[in-house]
Each structure stands twice: as structure tokens, then as C-alpha cells.
Structure 1
Amino acid sequence: MTLRLPGPDGGTRLYEPRAEPLDLTPGAPFTSRTVLAAAHVVADPLAAAGPGLPAAVDWDATLAFRRHLWAHGLGVAEAMDTAQRGMGLDWAGAAELIRRSSAEARAAGGRIACGAGTDQLDRGTLAEVRAAYEEQLALVEECGAQPVLMASRALAAAADGPDDYREIYGRLLRQSARPVILHWLGPMFDPALAGYWGSADLDTATEVFLDVVADHPGKVDGVKISLLDARREKDLRRRLPAGVRCYTGDDFHYPELIEGDGLGFSHALLGVLDPLGPSAARALRRLDAGDGPGFRALLDPTVPLARHLFETPTRFYKTGVVLLAWLAGHQEHFTMVGGLQSARSLPHLARAYELADGLGLFPDPKQAEHRMRTLLALHGVTQ
């Protein structure tokens, strides 16, 4: 059967869904790269939640999705922006997510890193920003997870220049119990982070960022770069101190960055690995076997879907991620904390379905087709 899908021009087109999925079997963690999928949270659709109220999370479905990622060999980057930090998930909800997922990781033997930020605050003094970071860093470490020091809206608002970033991050790194991942999230993901590291000029900001890493040897496991600029990431990773990893957060250029060149490669901490997990795992096993061309042959075709999900305004990529989780059968509804399921248009969602189906990402294509047909009918698209 065909589906009538809406297009960006206001019309519709016919699409014939895929009949069979790819054979994507679970497997052990990878040997050539460290790969973390930034995972989404599953909302509780029956909760009486709403604007200004605490986020309502379906904990069973949320933790089941993390077990799915671990089963395919990926690590989990928990309570990151993919989990709607600052876009529906408040600090209380994030703290509970960190506790539960860290316990689940221990039980499953899975790798986990958790975001520590400052979302207790809207704005504050530098001292308040530091205290908020310290509270979250302490929780992550108490739970036994690796900390990811997330970019902070409150710090971006409070800092007068680069020295304030050096001071705040220096204090945090000196007191961290284990090496952390530093997270540089660009303004395309969050406009409130414009001018991070004390300058709107990315070259100047890069120097401050590298200074922070170099000034604290042994305290930084790696850096996550989410600027959607492959050239800049390559230049930066070549300048990192020995032993400090570069985790790509570039959801546009990840195949070439992960494969690398003669001067190095990137590990990965990516939101796009939430829907791509098993398919990306299949490609990464080729890389483990030394088959770079085979890796690219499998992963390059996923880039059009990634670029579609992360198109501007990029921060709403989570909507497409959760749509695909519902279509793939990882949750029983297309509802998001904060009502963010309404953040993308129906033509955008239809194209996401089409691209994902073409890649064979749905374990049960018939179920995905039925769910997409239901969503279309709800919006008045007759078949």
C-alpha cells in the first residue's frame, strides 16, 4: 500500500513504504571508537502535566530505550540536550533521570556519562552559577557516572569575558573526582549560548577553550564539539593535548569526522545516534575491522536524515527524534515533555518518516506505516 505524504509546498505525494527492515543484531561495545548516544526521554502521556509544571516521565519506557542502546554496543550520554534539558525537562527531573539511568547502567554493564549544568537557575551571579554546577557535578559523581560539563545559559549571561569562564571551569575541574567531558554547544542548538567562552569570535573562543583544557592536565577526558563545522572541529582536535579525546557532536558531518584522516579522528557523542543506534553500530563494527570504506558506505546514507532532523531551528531536532522512536516501537505514543511534539510541521515529520523508512530503521515497517497513517489522519490527510 502507498501513503499520501504532505510536502513542503502544501501538496501531497505518494510514497511506498519499505517492506522489510535491515537485520540489525545487538553486539558488544566498539573497540576503535568511544561512541555515546545522547538519548531522549519518554513522556508520560497520562500525567496532568503542562506549562510551568514538573516534567512527567515514563520511567519504564525511558530506561528500556537506554537498554536498547547498550545492547547494540553504544554508550549513553544521559540528561543532555536530547533529553530536553532546558526545553521541558527541569533539574528535578534531570536529577531523577541521572539517578535511575546510572543504576540501570550498573545493572546492564553499560557505559554512561551524564550532563552537569546549571538549569536550577535562569540567571544568577557567578558564585550562584558555580554553586549550581557543583551541585550537579556532585550528583553525577555520587551516581558513579562520568560527568559531562554542559554549556550553561546562566554562565553565558553572567560572564563578563573569557576570564570568568577560566575561573568557573578551573574550579570545577580542580574538584572533579574523575576526568570529565567538556561540552561546547553552539548557538544553533541554543541561542542563549551565543558568545560562549567569552567571545562571539569563534577563533578567540577556541583559544580560551583550549586554554582551559591545557591548564588542567589529567582532568579532561575529552571535549564534545557541537558547532556543525567540520573544518573547525578537525583543526581543534589536532591541537588537543595528548590523551584528550575529541567527541564529535556534529550531526551533519559525523561519518567523515569519526572515520578521521591522517592526522586523527573523532569519537562521538551525538543526538542523531538516538534514532540511528543499531544502524550506526553496524557501520562502526566495519570500522573496528579496519574497513573504512565499508564504514562510510553504511553510514554516509544516513546523513540526509540527520540533516533533515537537525535543520533550522536546530534546537527542535528532538521532535523528529521522538517521532522516530514512536514509529520504531520504542514508545506507545508521540507525546513529549513540554508539549514539544508540536514544534515541527507535519511535512517535516512526514519527510523524517520517509527517510528513516528508506534506511530500514524501523524493526517493524508495517507498524511504522500504521502509526504514520494514524498521525496523518489525525491531521486531516486522507489516504
Structure 2
Amino acid sequence: MQQQEDQLPPSTTPAFNRIAYAAAHVVVDPAYTYEPWGDVPRVDWDATLEFRSYLYGLGFKVAEAMDTAQRGMGIGWPTAAELIRRSIAHARRIPGADLACGAGTDQLDSARSHTLADIVAGYKEQFEVIESAGGRPIMMASRALCAAARCADDYKHVYDAVISASRNKVVLHWLGDAFDASLSGYWGSRDVPTAMATVLDIIRLHQDKIEGIKISLLNAQYERQLRSQLPESVVMFTGDDYNYGELIAGDSTGHSHALLGIFDPIAPVASRALSKLAAGDTDAYRRLIDPTVALSRELFRSPTQYYKAGVVFLAWLNGHQDHFSMAGGMESARSVQHFAEVFRKADAAGVLIRPELAIERMARFLSVRAGV
């Protein structure tokens, strides 16, 4: 294991020919006493924001307070709202930094049923927090809406009301049920082409207010199909952590931009790969990015929603934080064998930026978790 050129940070901020949002994780303070199964952990704000500075320096935009930040799985709305405000203020101090922030309905009591009016109000409340702080919203998929909606028209009603009221362009977010089983049947149908027709109706109606759509169905063909039907002014952001390498590279049908959780742990290599792609060297891009796809498929293996554990594990191995603790005790969500495979594939992909530290921490982890 050695530090290679591909692992070194660039001397200047790279330029990409794809829009590349990295959905970033949150660093918690493990010394703080709180209920692990609650949703209000103590956040280590210095470490959390420093990691965002690191991503900006590698050329990425940040997708803030998304599912990678454990929204709905350890991080509740009060903490997410503070994260959004702090992250927007932080970005203003960094030349060229840019971000968009997740807006959902997770402040609504999940033990109760909600009307469509409740859901519209919930979205608008979160949009207001983001926009009043000077940010742009990513309209996250809503568990409450999926539970309340009875047909495609209910989705159209909610999205029309929220998008029409937004002060800024919106990024839509289609998160498949592999990431969150409670979102099964989103857009009013479990049949993907039928659901796609509904979201296209929404996009076409509001194309002047929509920057793009992130699709996370882990199916490259569905993404290409939707991409080919988008209005020219609306961008496709791949959220496919299994097939992003080929989708970003593109083909005769076009290419996708990116809004990805995997960019968090593979940031140095992904930055270099995207720079090669921008320079027209597709072969070099694929040589760099393809090994990270093997790592990503391990991180995002079923049950996919637990991928956050591997993301934070790699942040710890790389020295971005001094512990492997997560909100909600999520560090226990994967097996020792999984973390060992993540370590091997991260090494093969060149994303362990401080190899000696990674080896020392991996040995410590195996000693504590497996008695090795």
C-alpha cells in the first residue's frame, strides 16, 4: 500500500465538464450523552464543516443534509436545519464554493397520517429555512407523501404547490426503495415507466423552475430512459451508486451529471477522474473511476440504506475524523467482514489517502470488533 499520484490533493481547484455534487456525511461528537436511537446527536461542527471545505477544494459542489447525512436515520429535522444554516454560512466564506440543501417533510410525526395540505406545509417550512439562509433546495422524496398519496394526481398536486412557491430553481429527488423501503411506489406506481410518466409531467409543467432531477434506482437503463425525455433545460443527476462511471462518461444518447453519496469517500480519485474526463481523456477517466465502482457496489450492497456506515468508516480511516461513531449507532449496521472488504477495495481503488494511518486504524478496529 503506497500513496500514489492519484491520491494526492490538487494544487488548484480542478475544473470539471460535469456538475458534480457530493452528498456529505456528518461527524458526530461521541463524548456527548444522548439517546442513540433518537435523532438529535451532538454534531462536531468543526470536523463536519472542515470535510466540506475538503470537498470544495477537490472541485465538488456539496449536496447538504441528504440521506448520506443520515436524514431520517439518526439525524432529525432540527439538527438538519442547523446543519443547513451552518453549511450555507460556511460556503459563503470559501471562494467558488457551491451547495444545494435537502428539503423534505421529516419534521412531520411519522406515527400519524397526514393530509396533502400538511405535506405541502411541511415542504414549504423546510424550503423557507433553506431559502431564507440563501440556499437552493433539493426536494427530497417524502415518506409522508408516499403514505398519504392515493394516486399520481396527489403527487402532482403537492409538487405543483411546492415548486410554484419556491424562490429558486429546484432539484427533484427520486430515491428508490432499495434506499428506503417506505418510498416504494413513489409517484403513485410501483411500475417504473408509469412512475416516470408522472414525474415527467411534473417536470414539463415546471421546467423553468427545475434545475434537474436526481434518480437513484440503481438501474442504468431507467436513468437513460428518463434522461432522454427530459426538457433540454433540465439536467439529469445520476444517483446510481452502481453505474455512475458509465453514466457520467456518457454515450451516444447523452451523459448524466452527478449527485452522489459515493463521492464522499472516493473524492480524491473521483476529482482526478472528472478532471481527466473534462480534458477529453476518457480512457484515463475510466482507469481511475472503474475501481471505485467496485468499492461502491460493496458499500451500497443490500440492505442499501446502511451504506452510510462504510462512508463514515472510510472517513475515519482517512483521518477526516478521530473516531468511528455515528448518529443512531449506525456504525454497528454492517459486519466486520463487510468493513474488511471495504478496506481491501478502497486500497485497490486508491482512495486511502493516508495508508499508514488506515492500516493502524484498521488493525485497531479488528481488535475491538473481532478480537483479531
TM-score with structure 1 setting the length = 0.93
1:24 touches 1:282 (CA, 8 Å); kept in 2? no
State the identity as a percent. Answer: 51
In the TM superposition, 1:234-273 aligns within 5 A as 234-273=224-263
- Matched to 1:52, the amino acid is G
Distance in structure 2 (CA, Å) of the matches to 1:139 and 1:53: 19
Residue of structure 1 aligned with 2:361, choices 347, 351, 371: 371
Task: Report the number of matched residues.
Answer: 365
Q: Hey, which bits of structure 1, 4+ residues long, moved more than 6 A? A: none
Shift of the alpha carbon at 1:43? 0.9
Q: In structure 2, give the amino acid aligned to 1:316.
A: Y
Quick check: 1:320 aligned with 2:310? yes
User: What is the aligned counterpart of 2:86 among 91, 94, 100?
Assistant: 100
Distance between the aligned counterparts of 1:68 and 1:283, measured in 2? Answer: 17
Instruction: Give the secondary-structure state (helix, strand or coil) at the position aligned to 1:224.
Output: strand
Which residue is equivalent to 1:118? 105
Match for residue 6 of structure 1? none
The equivalent residue for 2:220 is 230
- 1:20 aligns with 3
By how many angstroms is 1:147 displaced? Answer: 0.7
Q: CA deviation digits over 1:68-99, x for unaligned, max 9? A: 00010001000000000000000000000000
Q: State the one-letter code of the partner of 2:44.
A: D
* Deviation for aligned residue 1:181: 0.3
2:351 to 354, 361, 380: 361
Which SS does the other structure have where 2:268 is aligned? helix
User: Which is worse superposed, 120-129 or 243-252?
Assistant: 120-129
Contact 1:42/1:58 (<8 A) preserved: yes
Task: Report the Cα distance in structure 1 between the residues aligned to 2:139 and 2:256, rounded to whole angstroms.
Answer: 19
**Pairwise mapping of residues 105-184 of structure 1 onto structure 2 (< 5 A)?**
105-109=91-95, 110-121=97-108, 122=110, 123-184=113-174
Deviation string for 1:281-326 (max 9, x for gaps)?
0000011111122211211111110000000000000000000000
Give the match's secondary structure for 2:206. coil
After superposing the two structures, state which structure 1 stretch, 23-32 or 368-377, moved more. Answer: 23-32
Deviation of the 1:23 alpha carbon: 4.0
| Residues 346-367 of structure 1 deviation map (CA, whole Å, 9 limit, x = unaligned) | 1001110111122221221111
C-alpha separation between the residues in 2 aligned to 1:65 and 1:23?
Answer: 16
Given candidates 62, 76, 85, the residue that maps to 1:90 is: 76
- 5 Å matches for 1:331-346? 331-346=321-336
Q: Distance in 2 between matches of 1:28 and 1:364?
A: 21
Offset at residue 243 of structure 1 (A): 1.1
Unaligned runs of 5+ in 1: 1-17
CA contact (8 A) 2:105 2:122 kept: yes
How far apart in 2 are the matches of 1:86 and 1:250? 20
Distance 2:25 2:269 in 1: 17
Tell me, yes or no, if the aligned pair for 2:207 and 2:234 is still in contact at 8 Å: no
Is the CA contact (8 Å cut-off) linking 2:39 and 2:76 kept in structure 1? no
Q: CA deviation at 1:221?
A: 0.3
Alignment correspondent of 1:44: 29
The alignment partner of 1:197 has SS state of helix
Normalised by the size of structure 2, how large is the TM-score? 0.96
**Cα distance in 2, alignment partners of residues 138 and 195 from structure 1:** 28
**Alignment partners' CA distance in 1, 2:258 and 2:7:** 23
Moved more, 358-367 or 105-114: 358-367
Q: CA deviation at 1:379?
A: 2.2
Measure the CA separation in 2 of the matches of 1:248 and 1:55: 30
Whether the aligned pair in 2 keeps the contact of 1:61 and 1:330 (CA below 8 Å) is yes
Contact persistence 2:25–2:69 (CA under 8 A): yes
Task: State the distance in 2 between where 1:318 and 1:181 align.
Answer: 22
| Alpha-carbon offset, residue 53 of structure 1 | 5.6
